[in-house]
Structure 1
Amino acid sequence: MPDFYALADDAQAVLLTGLASAALARWDGAFGAPELVKYRENAVFSVRRADGVRVALRVHRHGYHSDAALHSELHWMQALGTCGVAVPPIVPAACGSMFVTVAAPDIPEPRQVDMLGWMAGAPVGSAEDGLVLDAAAAERLYFDAGALAATVHRETRAMRLPDGFVRHAWDEAGLIGDNPLWGRFWELAMLTDADRALLAEARARAARDLTAFGRTAENYGLIHADFVPENLLSEAGRLKLIDFDDSGFGWHMFELATALYFNIDEPFYPAIERALFAGYRSVRPLPAAEESLLPLFLFLRGTTYLGWIQTRPETQTARELGPMLIARIRQVAHAYLASPPAAPA
């Protein structure tokens, strides 16, 4: 058996495609061959059912979520859908389960697999290419994105989550603790000594500012946590939200910082920042004191991406995005340290 994790991404994808094909037998109906759409954390496939219906099949990364956590993710998606938020519908397996666990040759562990209805529309941008919109269209988009984020937070705040609901937390420990959720970002090999000193200074101040800010039902709750342009689909002027894999408990401002992070170098960035907050406030209150903490949450968002590549140095994504992510964290860390500290709650 080859070492799966020593294989190149394309070779891993071939094996995961075989697992996806085997998993389709667990759903009712006849299906065509799965076609790989994206392989980063999970492997996502497009599949056509014999009646022409298109679905998305997700083969999950091993060990990221327990079964209970994945059940919780899918439950939250379903609940948001019933509130009118445009999210992927879940297609239960033939046994009625929201996901199944499937093993395949040459893949060392069984994988969680779920099926979602295909969401029409096109991503509004990507981390690599930014936005492909003019300034006016980008401003409209970010107003709508802010309103969508606020709707998710408002509807979630009103929900009663079921017993046993569990997701990870983008809190102090998960972001800047000794073992952050996505890795010890300060240990990234590509960092210079000056980078490490900068990160240590900003990390220490962030701990103080988060303590001063605190956690309340108004500023903290269940968030999507990957509110980036490639997870926002636009169809006929309506935004749809996909990929809840990173969802968990965190500050609402972390959500908004995520929406902006990969676009802070756009020439029209000030306009989209204003539009995002205006859109949010069109649905849900956001105190000016919270908005003023955007530099803190941009820094915190940036550390997670460094942690991601620190724990996955062998991946193509880490190699390609590493230099940009390091340049970006320098930028946001300096801006954060130059901003006023958080006022005590």
Structure 2
Amino acid sequence: MTDFYKIGIDARAERMQRLAIEALKAWNIADCQPQLIKIRENAVFRIKLADGFDAALRIHRYGYHSDAALQSELSWMQALQQDNIEVPEIIPAESGALFVTAGVDGVPEPRQIDMVKWLDGAPLGSIEEGLSDTVGDIAHAFTEVGRLAAQLHNHAARWQPPKDFVRHAWNNDGLTGEAPLWGRFWEFPGLDKAQKQLIEQARQAARRVLTAVGEANQTYGLIHADFNFDNIILRDGRVTAIDFDDCGFGWHLFDLATISILFLGTEQSETVQRAVIDGYRQERQLTDETLAQMPLFYLLRAFTYLGWIHTRSETRTAEEIAPGIVKMVCELAEDYLSAGSAAEGSL
């Protein structure tokens, strides 16, 4: 069989659509033609339900999460909804399961698949194309995003997860260790020798600081971990987070860095950063001492993006954004090291 991960994106999308149709049997949905929304590491399809409403069906990347980890992700989403924090509503399969596993010929592994109700509105933008022209008042939108991040962190701080709850950790090892969650970013083949040396120096500096910082409860906990443009839906002036695929345990600043990192170096950067911080502080304490570590978390977020394009090289997105990611990582590494930010810090 031709390697699934080396065939063209259109051929992969066709096979994923067949898998989506097969999986819909678990929801007792027939005569539905799933509409592909995006295919990166996960594939997302729009589904028309019998009641006339739409849903999003998500086919997961093989091997990224255990069944227990996916169950935990969906459990947190349900808990957030019960706490009146708007997130996509999960649609269980006919069996009552929150997700199913299905396979078809042409897709080499069985995949975990779940479904949520479709949220009207529009994403703030996309990683590939940046901020959408439909956002309007940028300061208002990102103040609301900052408030939403704080609301999630507040919920996580008081929520008692079930005993079998398990998610990965965006901790020191998960970000700078020998086996980071999104791959050994310093081995990306698009780096030259000087870039590899620079990134390795910055990685070791970041690792020393994170060791000193530790995992204080007030600044570390369950986080979304993927607050990029695609995953924030703007609806009538309100914002909603979607796609909790990467949620796990980590520093709150990692979420805030994710929100604003793609604005760095643009004329909108200062406005967005200020709005996010102002919004966050409306809902949760954020000290100046903690905020002083933002350059570190911009660097760490950039490391993960470099790891992402290294380990997801089969995706069109990785191919499109690779040059910009390499440039961003190297600039942030140089700035971090030259500023002397590698000294011990605290959150």
TM-score, normalisation: structure 2 = 0.96
1:32–1:50: 8 Å Cα contact kept in structure 2? Answer: no
1:1-345 superposed matches below 5 A: 1-30=1-30, 32-132=32-132, 137-337=137-337, 338=339, 340=341, 341-344=343-346
Q: Which amino acid aligns with 2:192?
A: T
Deviation at 1:102, TM superposition (A): 0.6
- After TM superposition, the structure 1 stretch with the greater mean CA deviation from structure 2, 273-282 or 134-143, is 134-143
Deviation at 1:134, TM superposition (A): 9.3
2:23–2:102: 8 Å Cα contact kept in structure 1? Answer: yes
Q: Which amino acid aligns with 2:223?
A: I
Q: Which amino acid aligns with 1:343?
A: G
- After TM superposition, the structure 1 stretch with the greater mean CA deviation from structure 2, 188-197 or 289-298, is 188-197
Residues 132 and 56 (structure 1), Cα distance of their counterparts in 2 relative to 1, 3 Å cut:
closer
Deviation at 1:339, TM superposition (A): 5.0
Other structure's SS at 2:128 match: coil
Distance in structure 1 (CA, Å) of the matches to 2:265 and 2:284: 27
Post-superposition CA distance 1:112-165 (Å, at most 9, x none):
111110011101122222223599811111111111000000011110000110
Q: Which amino acid aligns with 1:226?
A: D
2:135–2:141: 8 Å Cα contact kept in structure 1? Answer: no
Matched-pair identity in %: 46
Q: Which amino acid aligns with 1:37?
A: I
1:223–1:247: 8 Å Cα contact kept in structure 2? Answer: yes
Corresponding residue pairs, total:
345
Residues 29 and 291 (structure 1), Cα distance of their counterparts in 2 relative to 1, 3 Å cut:
same
Other structure's SS at 2:189 match: coil
Deviation at 1:60, TM superposition (A): 0.8
Residues 344 and 56 (structure 1), Cα distance of their counterparts in 2 relative to 1, 3 Å cut:
closer
- After TM superposition, the structure 1 stretch with the greater mean CA deviation from structure 2, 263-272 or 56-65, is 263-272
Residues 3 and 335 (structure 1), Cα distance of their counterparts in 2 relative to 1, 3 Å cut:
same
Distance in structure 1 (CA, Å) of the matches to 2:244 and 2:55: 16
Deviation at 1:266, TM superposition (A): 2.2
Post-superposition CA distance 1:291-325 (Å, at most 9, x none):
01010000000011111111233332222111000
Q: Which amino acid aligns with 1:208?
A: R
Distance in structure 2 (CA, Å) of the matches to 1:120 and 1:344: 41
Distance in structure 1 (CA, Å) of the matches to 2:36 and 2:134: 30
Other structure's SS at 2:63 match: coil
Distance in structure 1 (CA, Å) of the matches to 2:328 and 2:6: 29
- After TM superposition, the structure 1 stretch with the greater mean CA deviation from structure 2, 5-14 or 282-291, is 5-14
Deviation at 1:275, TM superposition (A): 1.2
1:135–1:268: 8 Å Cα contact kept in structure 2? Answer: no
Residues 344 and 96 (structure 1), Cα distance of their counterparts in 2 relative to 1, 3 Å cut:
closer
Other structure's SS at 1:262 match: helix
Q: Which amino acid aligns with 1:146?
A: G
Distance in structure 2 (CA, Å) of the matches to 1:30 and 1:65: 28
Other structure's SS at 1:282 match: helix
Distance in structure 1 (CA, Å) of the matches to 2:134 and 2:268: 9
